[in-house]
Structure 1
Amino acid sequence: MQAQGTRGRLADTFAAARQEGRSVLVGYLPAGYPTVDGAIAAMRAMVEAGVDVVEVGLPYSDPTMDGPVIQDAADAALRGGVTTTDVLRTVEAVAETGAPTLVMTYWNPVERYGVERFAAALGAAGGAGVITPDLPPEEAGPWLAAAGAHDLDPVFLVAPSSTDERIRMVTKITGGFVYAASLMGVTGARQSVGAAAEGLVKRVRAVTDLPVSVGLGVRDGAQAATVAAFADGVIVGSALVGALLAAERAGSGLSAGLDGIRGLTAELAAGVRRPARPAGDA
């Protein structure tokens, strides 16, 4: 296994935020929901309202990490016929905003598409990297080679249950940032972010200089501010997806969903800017 380092766009984004004394806001939405074009509009709206980095979810029929909100949206996208090609088109359209754009995907769709083919297509679309929650580091060799060949950051996850040895292994092959799951369980907005998150960030920082971003559970600006006080990045998914789902279930249409996305993103963006952190402090 080979350390991948940080390849440019993500590194620049985290460095700029650090100089501003704030955390990076990472926003997730699945491709294809409510439609391919609707998802693109929603992701671009997130960027306009303050998201720094976008995660484009590749809808999958057998998720292991996604909670019910993301599953509902992903299931609707799959019923609508979304394909990996649609995901790549989404990445291209979102990357045009200038925000580093990642794909969040389980490993099976990448393997079916072809590891080298997927990396080449994502690189050509302007993608910055891929988050692979279920790819074991021990089996990541082919992906690391393909990602390196196409200047993609391979982002891996650690959890509160990760041993120090496992954290060292993961950080050696991760690029861009380390994804720190704040709690054990599936995604979903919660009343509070797991208390183990801050301790996990400290453990990761003890073995790497890579930025550490915390995900799973953040639902509003106050929680974003709490996490931003100790993490380099704040990842929000279910709460943003929920804004689109709520508009659809209310029969309000995409326009109302986009308004909800913009409003919540603006609140979250204010949250990551709230903590008093000295410029240049990690």
Structure 2
Amino acid sequence: MIPKYYIIIAAACIVLLFLADPASATPIPVIIRGSVVEMNESAHTVTLRADCERYSCRYNVTGLFVGRVPNREIFSRVKPGEVVEAVFKDWIFQITDPSSGYIVPSRDTHNIRQWYTIQSLAHGDNGTLVSTELFGDPGYVDTPLDAGYRVDYRLSGSAPHAYDYATFPRDTLANTSVRKDAEFSRSVVLATGKVCRYSDTRDNTTITIQFIGGYDAGGMEGKACPCADYHIRVLSEKDRTPLAMGREEESAAPHKSPSGPLLPVLVAGAMILVAGFRRMQE
């Protein structure tokens, strides 16, 4: 017969699994800021150096990261040395240390396989960072588009053979919304490769949006997205010089541990295991 305390420990562990942050059970979007180190057009890759001690990052990772670009438009628009915001996906325990929030430092380049978003950064009117150009999925970034533009989407179409960001079904449609405020709201359905363009005469800005492709993730959105690929550019009469290393830089925000609700769960689990071992020794 199984001892009663074994059953209690097993039940407690099951409860902890349900209480744990769902992000621990699936790869999550990781948003970082850093400088472009290398652009390899033949390999379709970009290498970035994360600089989360100087620029605020949601996860304070360090080191070099290389991955496939969201789309080829980036090679004619972004240059080495520029500071960008970028998104990749990974398991939370692969990239963070629950006690400090930092990835384990390494001299090796981390191959993250795929960049889901890379966006160019510049200083806005009030000195905060804005994005002047975006390559990839606009739904998983921290820095807003310049001039207050916001782009949302809803995808429809046939189910993909695999949730692969490099190969999209050709029949995917993107119901795309462009907003700034209550007075500026536009909506358009874009097929793969199609472009739309909107202007706001109030501030003489223009936004161009090309839908590169994507797939309808359906109920798998939480695990399969980012799943849309756009090229978005905001044009303004104001001087929006791309942020680059060596120029005036944004102050870093205080570092915070990304462990969130995971830390108390881990502590509680350790206490349960210790109690179980003590019972075994009695």
Name the TM-score, length of structure 1 as normaliser.
Answer: 0.27
Greater relative contact order structure (CA < 8 Å, 6+ sep): 1
Q: Which has the higher helix share?
A: 1
